[in-house]
Structure 1
Amino acid sequence: MVTPPPEERARINAEASAWLARLQGPQRTAETEAALQDWLRADDAHQAAFERATEIWDLLPGAVVAGHVEPIERPSRRFAPMAMAASFLAMVGAGALTLYMGQAPVLSTHVGEQHSTTLDDGSRVALNTDSHLTVHFARAERRISLEQGEAMFDVAHDTSRPFIVSVGNEHIKALGTAFVVRKDGDQVRVTLLRGRVEVTRDGARPQLLAVLRPGDRLSAGASDAPRLDRPALDTVTAWRRGELLFDGTPLADAVAEVNRYDHVQVVVEDPRLRALPISGVFNTDDATEFAAAAAQLHGLKVRRQADTLLLTP
């Protein structure tokens, strides 16, 4: 599927949100449902947008999907299978899901890619850019190994088979919950969207790092003490909408985030510029747009060298 330009993608996302709202009100009729089916079939981008909107609404009930709709209750998942199927077929065609005969399923994405699928137990997984994980399902437990990158999990409830995500020495145990896990080098971040998770660390005696409540984020590193905070969940999950949200973020941190999604890399060499604050909403697939906006905001210059965008005073 060809990715639409930013303006077109914003319009499609808004339309997907509007369709969700229509399914909730008294205006829902057989004609409305038929029109939605026509809209979904018209373009693969429509199906992908509706899938993202439905997943976000389901994970964060009451959230505004694209800033235009105030949902009252969860929408029906009646039309989700079509979008999920389209997404799954696109994943298989792109090689995002590889099944090795007699081995565990492996899910991966390249830089700038995002893919989602439903596992055998009904749990949903969405992979962010440049991510890699392996699925190990057994009779007694469901285990995921996240080797790199970031993933959102919406776990199917099954008390007899714990769902565990392992990231290095850290292990996240969940029962019927939704959360985001991100691995940056030896740093691991776990953000709980819904439900309850326990985070433990390997050692001579396994250590319980935290029991998270919805909205909590645990950050842990090999040599750092675990830290708890409560970030804006809309910021944590913005990548599912193809967006990055910054609110007074130091330029150096914003650049590091933007560079995760594009082969074109933004570079800030002058230490005087690294702490400059950046606020706004940016597309994950447009480092050039971000560099231009940062330059305009702070009176900087952008110099392009091959696949590098250098920000200078």
Structure 2
Amino acid sequence: MSQSSSRASAEAAAWLARLQGDARTAEREAAFKDWLRADPVNQRAFERATDIWADLPGAAALIEERPAPRPLPLRPAWRRLPVHQLALAASLVLAIGIGTFFWLSQPSAYSTTIGEQKVATLEDGSRIALNTDSSVEVRYNAAQRLVELDRGEAMFEVAHNSARPFIVRAGDKQIRAVGTSFVVRNERGEVVVTLLQGKVAVTDIRPAAAKPAPTYLTPGDRLRAPVDGPARIDAQAADAATAWRRGQAMFADTPLGDAVTEMNRYGGPRLIVDDPRLAGLRVSGVFATNDTGEFARAVAALHGLRIEQNGQTMHIVR
């Protein structure tokens, strides 16, 4: 069985278990119908799940007959099943499909070393592009798609599925999306979220007596949440937010100290600015992330500075 078929079978069993008794709501029914329409594989998987129940010898005889509740507009064979029989069917299907559920719940880890980039395509078609020295853990289930960004930076291109939100957790922030693209960075306790397309909701997940309302971003918004201060939103162009995908770093009136820190993320000779006055000089331009030496020489020429190299360390000095 393919991964997509296995996933659909697991989700079908989960939906069969959810659609029972008092737990049924208009929102849940709408989400279920969205799931059915999202992929023909889902419809076939749900039909197989209900057929499994119908084909179980003597199963109906074990259950006292009761009046059927209002049916959902599904295929006729399942439409006639009472809710309590659906519960039994769900449990039986889950028992048969436990191996599928075990596979579906297993996390997948992706990481990069310093200077490395990697793109991972997930089983639902979503894509994660990892920047240098980054690590994520992906954990999918029938209800949600969860990604933990442990460190570094990643760009997410999310396949649309309104019944199964895509959630990224980084530090003390949670980013919720349905179908969109955005960049998340988790470095030294600071979380930065830049929205490229679509819409996301950013929530603080730290324990608190009163939970703050989610912050909604629109394309071009960049939310910066330092470890010891309030979050703030500014603007960042998409080409600047994704420059690393092209092997570039873009600076616009950036303090030299910050630019050096950014360039050092990508490996090569390590740059050091010892003088705080030099660290405050402003840098603008586009630089190759795989050539920190060229960046240092360009900055030195621009500001009349010198480079003192000691092995794999380059000091930028007056």
TM-score (norm 2): 0.65
* 1:292/1:220 CA distance change after superposition, 3 Å: same
1:299 pairs with 2:304: yes
Q: Which of the two has greater helix per residue? A: 2
**Shift of the alpha carbon at 1:158?**
0.5
Q: 1:278 aligns with which of 283, 293, 297?
A: 283
1:213 matched to which residue of 2? 218
Q: Which residue, out of 272, 284, 291, partners 1:267?
A: 272
The two structures have a TM-score, normalised by structure 1, of 0.66
AA aligned to 2:293 is T
What are the equivalent positions in structure 2 for 1:98-113 lying under 5 Å apart?
103-113=106-116
Give yes or no for contact 2:105–2:141 (8 Å, CA) kept in 1: no
The answer on whether the counterparts of 1:198 and 1:208 sit within 8 Å (CA) in structure 2 is: no
Question: What percentage of aligned pairs have identical amino acids?
Answer: 49
Measured in 2, the distance between the counterparts of 1:102 and 1:216 equals: 33
Q: Give the Cα–Cα distance (whole angstroms) in 1 for the partners of residues 255 and 193 of structure 2.
A: 22
The residue type paired with residue 270 of structure 1 is: D
Retained in 2: the 8 A contact 1:193–1:215?
Answer: yes
The 1-side partners of 2:227 and 2:211 are apart by 14
Secondary structure class of the residue paired with 2:276? coil
Where does 1:235-250 land on structure 2 (aligned, <5 Å)? 235-250=240-255
Quick one: which amino acid aligns to residue 219 of structure 1? R
Which runs of 4 or more aligned residues in structure 1 lie more than 2 Å from their structure 2 counterparts after TM superposition? Answer: 100-103, 203-209
Q: Find 1:224's aligned residue among 198, 218, 229.
A: 229
* CA distance in 2: counterparts of 1:171 and 1:101, whole angstroms: 22
State the Cα distance separating 1:256 from its structure 2 match: 0.8
Q: Which residue of 2 aligns with 1:311?
A: 316
Cα separation, partners in 2 of 1:142 and 1:247, compared to 1, 3 Å: same
Instruction: Give the CA RMSD over aligned residues.
Output: 1.6
Matched, 1:188 2:191: yes
Match of 1:158 in 2: 161
Provide the aligned length of Structure 1 versus Structure 2. Answer: 214
> Aligned residue for 1:129?
132
Contact 1:198 1:212 in 2 (8 A): yes
The offset of 1:127, in angstroms, is: 0.3
Q: Hey, what does 1:116 align to over in structure 2? A: 119
Query: What aligned pairs does 1:131-146 form with structure 2 within 5 A after superposition?
Result: 131-146=134-149
Pair 1:251 & 2:251 matched: no
Per-residue deviation at 1:101?
12
Tell me the amino acid that sits aligned with residue 112 of structure 2. Answer: T
Render the CA deviation track for 1:158-195: whole Å, top value 9, x for unaligned: 01111000012210000100000001111000000000
Contact 1:111/1:263 (CA < 8 Å) preserved in 2?
A: no
Query: Are the counterparts in 2 of residues 209 and 226 from structure 1 also a CA contact under 8 Å?
Result: no
| Counterpart-to-counterpart distance in 2, 1:263 and 1:171 | 33
Match of 2:51 in 1: none
> Is there any run of 5+ residues in structure 1 with no aligned partner, and where?
1-99
Match of 2:181 in 1: 178
Secondary structure of 1:273 counterpart: helix
Find the aligned partners of 1:283 and 1:263 in 2 and give their Cα distance: 12
| Alignment partner, residue 168 of structure 1 | 171
Higher Rg:
2
